Amino acid sequence: MRICIYCASSALVHSVYFNAAERLATEMVRAEVEVVYGGGTIGLMGKIADTVLTLGGQIKGVIPKFMDEVEWTHPKLTDVVFTETMSERKNKLIENVDAVVALPGGTGTLEELLETISQKRLGLFSKPIVILNTNKFYNPLKQMLEQCVTENFMRQKHLALWSFANEPEEVLPIIRNTADWDKNALQSAVVR
């Protein structure tokens, strides 16, 4: 199994987020999951990579060349793919993965997550999306997504595009128990 993890590159976040990232990476290695992530060496990105590597797991980084030029790339990754643009990076991150997991993060993480949700809604991505809600970080996003349905910007069925997990240990069971999204979803993407 191959899983993409979106997460922050900030080294200044609370230790509760680092702890959750380490626990998630440990679960991934135990389950022999190959991790795909943004390729960075600091913040939650660094914690994911360091934990996977320390435990002997496989991890692939996807990072734009301009970030590599300022030495953001983790030097010990199992595999690295360099892209020209951020858009190309986002596409490569989810290429041939079996699921996406979003840890707390800033605008980059939110952009990746929301773009993947949009792709899934349109049937361009069909795999499970799990949002790890450590420390209730994503409660405002959960409320906003539910508001999109309440206000008829999305259909009720679109609430199944993603799942929320409160603890890292819940992520893999959710992925295993989530069916792939209908690839013909474009036909029902418009709310009428």
Q: Which two tokens stand for residue 138?
A: 């994503």
Residue 134 has what pLDDT? Answer: 98
pLDDT, the chain, mean: 93
Domain that holds residue 165: 2-188
Is 42 in contact with 73 (CB distance < 8 Å)? Answer: no
What is the spatial distance between Cα 101 and Cα 134, in angstroms, rounded to a whole number?
12
Q: What is the mean pLDDT of residues 97-101?
A: 98
Of the candidates 86, 46, 44, the residue with the CA atom closest to the CA atom of residue 66: 86
Which residue is listed with tokens 């792939």? Answer: 180
Of 76-90, 109-123, 173-187, give the lowest mean pLDDT range: 173-187
Of the candidates 7, 42, 41, 1, the residue with the CA atom closest to the CA atom of residue 24: 7
Is 90 in contact with 115 (CB distance < 8 Å)? Answer: yes
pLDDT in tens, 76-95: 888 999 999 999 999 999 99
Q: What is the CATH number of the domain that holds 116?
A: 3.40.50.450
Q: What is the mean pLDDT of residues 5-29?
A: 96
CA angle centred on 107, ends 103 and 112, rounded to 5°: 60
Which residue is listed with tokens 């209730």? Answer: 136
Of the candidates 2, 23, 21, the residue with the CA atom closest to the CA atom of residue 102: 21
Helix (H) or strand (E) holding 34: strand 34-37
Residue 187: which residues within 8 A CB-CB, separation 6 or more?
A: none
Residue 191 has what pLDDT? Answer: 56
- Name the domain count of the chain: 1
Q: How confident is the model at residue 129 (pLDDT cuts 50, 70, 90)?
A: very high
What is the spatial distance between Cα 163 and Cα 42, in angstroms, rounded to a whole number?
27
**Which residue type is seen at 190?**
V
pLDDT in tens, 48-73: 999 999 999 999 999 998 887 766 78
